[in-house]
Structure 1
């Protein structure tokens, strides 16, 4: 095993540089992961865009166990050489959230509460290798890992966490099943992952976007979505009415990154007794939020974020099945020395038409 590790460190606002680190010495409860591929997500772009303490970003990580302590091996059920997908959470395992299986809500793995989570931890906290944009990563004793099938292409394996969110929000939180109609605002990486999860659950899926996302709407059809609506030149309400024969939509999900209009229109296209899921922060108030519509149509409105152990397991099994052409979602793959460009591209400021952007260290 190498003595030194090269990693791309976010050192300032929209700036990364390669740095060298010592390979950590392990306790029996810890491990080292050799990083195979990392998916770039919006959280990475958000941290990259801030001027803050240096850190190694990247948390959609797939790799191979390079070295593992005896206790960790027994506890996790993995040995050296195993291929794994890892979750970003580092839960405490003792609080009420962890004890009830909702460890994504554990405050000890919430950076906003001073907790630690892969891809967000400053390099000042030793052993520094807390992010995926690196040749190797340190694995904390509370790391959550899942086995990744050997036959899965790396670019498809990198979709594990977006798909896990999809299964969490669609199947577990939304109750999607055969016979249901699902509408999704936002045909980006997360919206398409949710559409795939809904299709896997047997639902009919409507993908909603704008002319600026026309290629993504086309990709939605290639991936098996039943209908697409371009709201730049189509009336959303009338199109949904036509598609559903006036029944409207059972479950509506908004994962758009900008503007509050998709929230209000989600309420309008949901059927009576339907469910509206909100999965994207807006960072602003909604000026024309008609709460009377929720009462009138007895709607359930629910905020969704993150994933559970069960939904990640569902995602890894779905990926291994090769049911859908998931590689179509990979738009750009970069080397470790191109992390800066990878983050710019994922943020819409680099190469054109980003979708699933990955880094292969």
Structure 2
């Protein structure tokens, strides 16, 4: 009799059931991961609110190589027992995007246009185990890995991708560094990751804005290196940034806020001439009163970004391993496999309070 695997399967809009699957056979070019922990990404919540078919969510996955084919062992440079962080992308490996290092933009892993990726693909696609809210996860031949040192606690290791996003957006795309004033809109896990990235890159001044409910997140942002926090419900953000910067305004603004589009239009007024605005927080609606002439008159660069490069995740793991920052304080909630619904609703604001980074242990 084949070994059974337990996994939390999305079975409807904001509905989850724990189901059993057969442990898949592993071909020479594939593998199997024993999931240690999986983080709950903020993007899992909008995915959970819509139903496209039964699927196992979860793409911030850390675990151990349980089985590995002989060809995969050579291609991946891994062996059984290695501890790894898994990227969500399943790129083709041969297109221009892949060959130039931008595999996250490969059409083969574009979930919005029929591509497959971890934490999104339905169980109808054999062998079904495509998500991290499962005891085991199938390792596709095109999987992308990062080795994880054993001394890193599992819940902190699951920060590799969100912190990789922060490094990608703040530093690689935004150019945060010495001499720069950085304003981050939104103090969630991605915003806090941007604070860490900007601090590590040597930015002169880091400001983070949010709501009154974000008081505890503001305290953690200060520990991560933020110089100023702004509660936009109590302070005029434009006046406050003008005061902090001596009228110069911010060199770089990173919008990771999950609310409406007001932060986008505000960023245009808050950035300095020849400044840069990074848009990373989806609004899921059109932006009214978007006056594009201001981009021209202020010579503003505005970029949309998503995901992380391979090198950004490598740097994130190095930063986590250093123990330089109190990342344990970012890891606020931990749930078992039977509590995946609660974990997702906690991230979405419908569960437990005070969430920043939430993890699921499929063996609890």
- What is the TM-score of this pair, normalised by structure 2? 0.97
Determine if contact 1:11/1:52 at 8 Å carries over to the other structure.
Answer: no
Match of 1:275 in 2: 276
Q: Which residue in 2 is equivalent to 1:316? A: 317
State how far apart, in whole Å, the 2-side matches of 1:44 and 1:259 are. Answer: 18
Aligned residue runs from structure 1 range 164-203, under 5 A: 164-203=164-203
CA distance in 2 between partners of 1:22 and 1:285 (Å): 44
1:357 aligned onto 2:350: no
CA distance in 1, matches of 2:77, 2:326: 30
Match of 1:87? 87
* Equivalent in the alignment of 2:136: 136
Secondary structure at 2:354's aligned position in 1? coil
8 A contact 1:10–1:56 mirrored in 2: yes
Question: Whole-Å Cα distance in 1 between the matches of residues 227 and 85 of structure 2?
Answer: 30
Return the alpha-carbon distance in structure 2 between the equivalents of residues 261 and 113 of structure 1. 28
TM-score by length of 1: 0.97
Matched position secondary structure for 2:125: coil
Q: Distance in 2 between matches of 1:261 and 1:112?
A: 25
Q: Is 1:300 matched up with 2:308?
A: no
- Tell me how far 1:103 sits from its aligned partner: 1.0
Runs of 4+ in structure 1 deviating by more than 6 angstroms, as ranges, are none
Residues 239-261 of structure 1: CA deviation (Å, up to 9, x unaligned): 11111122211100111111111
Q: Residue by residue, what CA displacement relative to the aligned partner does 1:105-130 show, whole Å, maximum 9, x if unpaired?
A: 11110111111010111111111110
1:155-193 CA deviation, whole Å, 9 max, x = no partner?
111111111111111111111112211000000111111
Match of residue 39 from structure 2:
39
Deviation at 1:23, TM superposition (A): 0.7
Task: Tell me how far apart the structure 2 counterparts of residues 328 and 288 of structure 1 sit (CA, whole Å).
Answer: 39
Cα contact 2:61–2:132 (8 A) shared by 1: yes
Match of 2:255 in 1: 254
Count of residue pairs brought into register by the alignment: 360
2:359 partner SS: strand
SS across alignment from 2:43: helix
3-state DSSP of counterpart to 1:42 = coil
Partner of 2:99: 99
Whole-angstrom distance in 1 between the partners of 2:44 and 2:236: 34
Shift of 1:307: 0.8
Pairwise CA distance, 1:64? 0.7
Aligned alpha-carbon RMSD (Å)? 1.1
Instruction: Work out whether 1:12 is the aligned partner of 2:15.
Output: no
CA shift, 1:285, in A, is: 2.0
SS at match of 2:142: coil
Q: Which stretches in structure 1 are left out of the alignment for 5+ residues?
A: none
**Alignment match, 1:242:** 243
Inter-partner Cα distance in structure 2 for 1:331 and 1:17: 24
CA apart distance, 1:43: 2.2
| Whole-Å separation in 2 of the counterparts to 1:77 and 1:61 | 19
Worse overlay, 232-241 or 136-145 = 232-241
Helix, strand or coil at the partner of 1:138: strand
Residue 214 of structure 1: CA displacement?
2.0
Query: What corresponds to 2:78 in structure 1?
Result: 78
SS at match of 1:178: coil
CA distance in 1, matches of 2:180, 2:248: 11
Are 2:199 and 2:224, in contact at CA under 8 Å, matched by a contact in 1? no
Which residue matches 2:68?
68
Contact 2:91 2:142 in 1 (8 A): yes
Q: Tell me, in whole angstroms, the C-alpha distance in 1 between the residues paired with 2:251 and 2:28.
A: 49
Please give the secondary structure, in 2, of the residue aligned with 1:233: coil
Alpha-carbon distance, 1:101 to partner: 1.3
Tell me the residue number matched to 2:122.
Answer: 122
